[in-house]
């Protein structure tokens, strides 16, 4: 009797590198989490499909941590990214490889990633998209914190100054020091009001602080792509 073929699932390539003579070792993002699999005959048709930002239908085989790709087909609409949108997509991929545990299902992260790629391809403003993705990723992994209440449960005061205690949340402070956030900026972030003065730049600083501890002190390579010559 023939066994039932393993179910396929939607996936995106996060990273791929050569493996042995003709294969590739590929990190995929799926609704079931980040999966690593060997893609054989990577120089053929499958290899041309297995590139970032292409929506794929992939059949994974094997029960160990390292799977094998049985079948791979493109599905739906792929996101064609250029310039800073391409750099942004590579940044998202690196974030997911660094932060997402292997084989830990996060279907909401997968959906938000797919939606963010389409928004990048449509040419929507990059910074709000990146901040929203960072925030959703941290929250889904259990690292989130409130933006309209401090770590004591008190409402954020518009005229207050706050610092981030990464493991606890926002703490009000009364002495000026580097790296603080204004209450007005935090309240604007909580409403995703990016028209508020300083909100976007403050959100970038806040997400960098929040992500740094989970990145283990190693810088993100993709951030260097945004440094203008």
Phi, psi of 2 (to 5 degrees): -85, 140
Q: What is the CATH number of the domain that holds 54?
A: 2.40.50.140
- Nearest Cα to Cα of residue 197 among 210, 185, 207, 183: 185
Give the integer Cα–Cα distance in Å for 141 and 190. Answer: 19
pLDDT of residue 1: 41
Structure confidence by residue, pLDDT tens digits, 168-218: 999 999 998 888 999 999 999 999 999 999 999 999 999 999 999 888 877
Asked whether residue 86 is domain-assigned, the answer is no
Number of domain units in the chain: 2
DSSP 8-class letter at 58:
E
Looking at 36, 55, 72, which one is the last position of a domain? 72
Asked whether residue 78 is domain-assigned, the answer is no
Q: What domain range is 42 assigned to?
A: 7-72
Query: Is residue 23 a contact partner of residue 42, using CB atoms and an 8 Å limit?
Result: yes
* pLDDT-flagged residues of the chain (< 70): 1-6, 42-47, 225-229
Asked whether residue 17 is domain-assigned, the answer is yes
Asked whether residue 101 is domain-assigned, the answer is no
Asked whether residue 42 is domain-assigned, the answer is yes
Q: What is the CATH number of the domain that holds 185?
A: 1.20.1440.120
Looking at 72, 92, 117, which one is the last position of a domain? 72
Enumerate residues 6+ apart whose C-beta is below 8 A from 79: 53, 54, 89, 117, 118, 120, 121
Q: Read off the tokens for 53.
A: 């930002």
Q: Which helix (H) or strand (E) holds 110?
A: helix 107-121
């Amino acid at each position: 009797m023939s066994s039932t073929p393993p179910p396929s699932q939607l996936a995106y390539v996060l990273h791929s590198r050569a493996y042995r003579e003709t294969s590739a070792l590929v990190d995929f993002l799926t609704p079931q989490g980040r999966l690593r699999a060997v893609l054989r005959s990577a120089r053929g048709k499958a290899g041309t499909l297995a590139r970032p930002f292409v929506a794929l239908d992939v059949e994974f085989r094997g029960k160990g941590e390292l799977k094998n790709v049985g079948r791979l087909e493109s599905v739906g609409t792929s996101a064609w990214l250029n310039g800073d949108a391409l750099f942004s997509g590579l940044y998202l991929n690196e974030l997911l490889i660094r932060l997402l545990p292997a084989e830990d299902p996060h279907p909401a992260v997968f959906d938000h990633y797919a939606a963010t790629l389409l928004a990048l391809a449509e040419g929507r403003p990059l910074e709000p998209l990146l901040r929203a993705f960072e925030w959703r990723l941290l929250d889904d992994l259990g690292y989130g914190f409130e933006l309209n209440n401090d770590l004591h449960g008190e409402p954020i005061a518009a005229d207050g100054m706050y610092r981030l205690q990464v493991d606890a949340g926002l703490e009000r402070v009364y002495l000026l020091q580097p790296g603080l956030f204004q209450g007005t900026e935090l309240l604007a972030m909580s409403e995703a009001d990016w028209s508020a003065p300083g909100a976007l730049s403050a959100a970038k600083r806040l997400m960098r602080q929040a992500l740094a501890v989970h990145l283990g002190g190693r810088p993100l390579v993709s951030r260097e792509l945004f440094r203008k010559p």
